[in-house]
């Protein structure tokens, strides 16, 4: 919360949300539906006039104009019948904090996805990508808050809890994989387009083999398709909680890519597949560094879903990069 609001306590954050409701929506809050904090702070709120909204407040590095582009994309998606939140107001800055306000989209509950739901994850991503395909992505290239600073191997971690400087000498093998992954990503020279950048089980809801809700659209960015699909392949059945299974190995990631291409149609060449594998591997390397950071702070922290997969399938990933 400090990264978003500065040095205020929980009561101060609640007061900010109350003032934001009155000032922007002209109705005071009567009940909280949920609250969460990670890259930003998000609250579901019931208003006195009966509306239910979700207000997400962002760290300063999230650009307001980028959030406005996200809002426009959500309008287009929802207008096409895609299951995503509908903006209640355009993104704004309230008391110096950038925020988005969407109408509440009922959540059937976060859960891990099963292997037989892989096609539905890949297919819904392909559908969203198709709807947004002709959006002009050029203004948003290299502007996302999670883009890597020049000369850095990783982006600034999405949550201040992660400190990549801790015991960094123990992560050389992870960083070597991340470097190889970035080299592979660069083999794809197709034009960027607007894609969701975190199509994981944490952010989508599949019920009876169809997508019923999708969240975290602020991860939308101007990426090459191979990058966005690679990220999804590495995270598609993960919810980011302690019950996460081991991360997908190189064989499972290849199966996800095949499922996506089958639904999306068209052809994807060797460069695309190599770049997508690289994107998936880089995503796992970043996750492994987050895991290592938490364990360096607390030796009792034992989450190793990405590190164990990378260690066990180290050669499999490198072979996949070199033999697509």
Q: Is the Cβ–Cβ distance between 130 and 80 less than 8 Å?
A: no
Does 2-103 match 115-322 in CATH topology? no
Indicate if the pLDDT at residue 1 is higher than 70: no
Q: pLDDT tens digits, residue range 8-61?
A: 888 999 999 999 999 999 999 999 999 998 878 999 999 999 999 999 999 998
Give pLDDT tens digits for 225-270. 999 999 999 999 998 887 888 999 999 999 999 999 999 998 899 9
Q: What is the domain partition of the chain in residue ranges?
A: 2-103, 115-322
Question: Is the pLDDT higher at 214 or at 4?
Answer: 214
Cα separation, 226 vs 274, whole angstroms = 9
Dihedral through CA 77, CA 79, CA 206, CA 90, nearest 10?
A: 60
CATH number of 2-103: 3.30.200
Q: How far apart are CA 256 and CA 250, in angstroms?
A: 10
Find out whether 243 and 302 touch, Cβ atoms under 8 Å.
no
Digit-coded pLDDT (tens) for 112-127: 999 999 999 999 999 9
For domain 115-322, the question of CATH label 3.60.70.12 is answered with no
Predicted pLDDT of residue 46:
98
């Amino acid at each position: 919360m400090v990264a978003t609001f500065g040095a205020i306590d929980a009561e101060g954050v609640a007061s900010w949300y109350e003032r934001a409701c009155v000032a922007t929506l002209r109705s005071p809050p009567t009940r909280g539906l949920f609250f969460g904090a990670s890259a930003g702070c998000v609250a579901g709120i019931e208003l006195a006039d009966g509306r239910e909204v979700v207000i997400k407040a962002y760290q300063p590095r999230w650009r307001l104009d980028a959030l406005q582009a996200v809002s426009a994309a959500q309008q287009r998606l929802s207008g096409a019948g895609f299951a995503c939140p509908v903006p209640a107001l355009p993104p704004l800055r309230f008391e110096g904090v950038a925020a988005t306000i969407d109408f509440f989209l009922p959540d059937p509950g976060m859960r891990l996805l099963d292997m037989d739901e892989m096609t539905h994850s890949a297919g819904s991503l392909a559908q969203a990508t198709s709807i947004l395909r002709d959006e002009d992505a050029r203004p948003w290239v290299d502007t996302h808050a999670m883009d890597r600073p020049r000369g850095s191997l990783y982006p600034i971690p999405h949550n201040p809890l992660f400190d990549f400087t801790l015991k960094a000498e123990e992560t050389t093998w992870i960083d070597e994989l991340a470097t190889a992954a970035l080299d592979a990503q660069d083999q794809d020279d197709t034009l960027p387009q607007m894609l969701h950048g975190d199509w994981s089980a944490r952010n989508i809801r599949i019920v009876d083999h169809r997508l019923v809700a999708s969240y975290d659209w602020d991860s939308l960015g101007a990426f090459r398709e191979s990058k966005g699909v690679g990220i999804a392949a590495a995270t598609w059945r993960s919810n980011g909680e302690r019950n996460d299974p081991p991360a997908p190995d190189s064989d499972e990631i290849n199966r996800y890519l095949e499922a996506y291409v089958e639904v999306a149609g068209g052809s994807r060449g060797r460069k695309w597949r190599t770049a997508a594998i690289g994107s998936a591997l880089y995503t796992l390397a970043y996750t492994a560094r987050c895991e290592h950071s938490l364990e360096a702070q607390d030796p009792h922290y034992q989450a190793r879903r990405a590190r164990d997969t990378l260690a066990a399938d180290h050669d499999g990933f490198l072979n996949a990069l070199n033999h697509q």
